[in-house]
Amino acid sequence: EPEVTQTPSHQVTQMGQEVILRCVPISNHLYFYWYRQILGQKVEFLVSFYNNEISEKSEIFDDQFSVERPDGSNFTLKIRSTKLEDSAMYFCASSEAGRLNQPQHFGDGTRLSIL
């Protein structure tokens, strides 16, 4: 069964540095998402992306964050000037476009630790 893959599985970064989290969505999917889960808290929506633009974003997704689909397969989340509170598990998800009852498929996540 096709999977969403995320790299790296664990990223350790110094506070203030930039980090890029990478995702390869399922190949025929056209909607892409990022979520995060701070340790011990609920999974929170960050952003959705379709047709090379952001379709929705949460209040968490401020100017510090950006997303990009640099080629036909990758979907990235960039966090500029990281802060301690950015430490979390970040999940990428994808779903088929135009079919509202198609569920989102999640990757295994990237654990981001800010020191």
Partner 1 sequence: AQSVTQLGSHVSVSEGALVLLRCNYSSSVPPYLFWYVQYPNQGLQLLLKYTTGATLVKGINGFEAEFKKSETSFHLTKPSAHMSDAAEYFCAVCNFGNEKLTFGTGTRLTIIP
Strand partners, 78: 20, 66
The alpha-carbon radius of gyration of the chain (Å, integer) is: 13
Determine, following the binding rule CB under 8 A, whether residue 45 of this chain makes contact with partner 1.
yes
CB of 16 to partner 1, least distance (A): 28
Residue 75 found at the interface with partner 1 (CB under 8 A): no
Among 38, 43, 54, 115, binds partner 1 (CB under 8 A): 43
CB of 112 to partner 1, least distance (A): 15
C-beta neighbour count of 14 within 10 angstroms: 9
Q: Taking CB under 8 A as the rule, does residue 15 contact partner 1?
A: no
Residue 82 in contact with partner 1, rule: CB under 8 A: no
In one letter, which amino acid is 86? D
The contacts of residue 59 (CB under 8 Å, 6+ apart) are none
The answer to whether 33 contacts partner 1 (rule: CB under 8 A) is yes
Angle at 33 between CA 5 and CA 20, to 5 degrees: 65
User: Is 12 near partner 1 (CB under 8 A)?
Assistant: no
What pairs with residue 93 in β-bridges? Answer: 33, 106
Give residues in contact with partner 1 (CB under 8 A).
4, 6, 31, 33, 35, 41-45, 48, 55-56, 58, 91, 93, 95, 100-101, 103-109
